[in-house]
Amino acid sequence: MPEPATPHLWVKIDLGNERQIGPGKIALLRLVGERHSIAAAARDMKMSYRRAWLLIDELNTIFAQPVLTTHVGGKSFGGAELTPFGVRLIERFDVITRRTEEAVRDELAALATEIQG
């Protein structure tokens, strides 16, 4: 019988005016930073280039500073690099994820005992 998984949180941040950031956009941004390419990150996440581009564009629109810079040419629709602000946004989201999870660890453990076997 598989071990019951510990419950964990899925945290989104509602920034008002229908602007949200959550684990999906942050995972994409992180991957773009690692792959230096929106196209490669899109493939890794099994989403279309267009969808990935729209999500990144949404992040760039939400914040006063861009999260990413792209340069024309090169492989895969041009390279992409996180800006220092983009790097900081990912770090901030990771802090939020870690701290929220720690803040309710006992409640999540209690919930785990109440789940149907």
Write out the residues near a second copy by the rule CB under 8 A.
4-5, 7-17, 19-20, 22, 61-65, 85, 89, 92, 95-96, 99-100, 102-104, 107-108, 110-112, 114-117
> Least distance in Å: CB of 11 to a second copy?
6
Length of the chain (residues):
117
Q: For a second copy, give the closer residue by CB, 42 or 68.
A: 68
> Least distance in Å: CB of 48 to a second copy?
25
**Is the separation of the CB atoms in 80 and 38 below 8 Å?**
yes
Q: For a second copy, give the closer residue by CB, 11 or 39.
A: 11
Cα 111 to its chain centre, rounded Å, is 26
Task: Look up residue 114 and give its two tokens.
Answer: 């109440």
> Least distance in Å: CB of 19 to a second copy?
7
Q: Which residues pair with 79 in a beta bridge?
A: 71
> Least distance in Å: CB of 86 to a second copy?
11
Cα four-point dihedral sign 74, 25, 65, 53: positive
Cα 24 to its chain centre, rounded Å, is 4
